[in-house]
Homo-oligomer: A and B are copies of this chain.
Amino acid sequence: MKVMALFGLVEYQDAPPEVRAVYDDIMATRKTTWINNFWKAIAPHPETLKRTWASLKQVMAPGALDPLTKEMIYVAVSVTNQCGYCIASHTAGARKAGMTPEMFEELMAVVTMANATNRMVNGYQVEIDEAFRGEWPS
């Protein structure tokens, strides 16, 4: 069965040069030899492909936060939003960046705790403490 995406998947051998350039950069940046479906699915729109990859590459690069932390934050958001594809792909990314089963277990525990207390706070109609309102530099 063919893998589905709204506009189909653009494979490397069929891609125009501007798409191949992005694919090449993805593989070089990630040190892999394959491209996952997400990029092939948006490739029919090269401007979207270029803009999305440029943003993702910048955002996920090591900086004040290390790549593993960033991948785990990505998983936390994707789990909260219930995005199956994103959970699968970023859990794989986090594992590649060094996440152990114990780290995953704790990540999930924090995510579920946060999703729970986010609702308790609103259900009990709790106002924000003055102590939490101060600006950062103050």
- Verify A89–B55 contact, CB threshold 8 A: no
B residues less than 8 Å from A4 (CB atoms): 125, 127, 133, 135
CB distance from A78 to the nearest CB of B (A): 6
* Contact of A55 with B52 at beta-carbon distance under 8 Å, contacts A115-B119, A127-B4 already known: no
B residues less than 8 Å from A100 (CB atoms): 64
In this assembly, does A88 line the interface, its C-beta being within 8 Å of a C-beta of chain B?
yes
* Contact of A111 with B126 at beta-carbon distance under 8 Å, contacts A82-B81, A106-B70 already known: no
Chain A to chain B: the 5 pairs with minimum beta-carbon distance, closest first: A77-B114, A64-B102, A88-B132, A112-B116, A83-B118
Query: Contacts A6-B125, A108-B123 given; 9 further ones with Cβ under 8 A?
Result: A4-B133, A41-B121, A64-B103, A65-B107, A82-B82, A83-B122, A88-B132, A91-B132, A95-B136
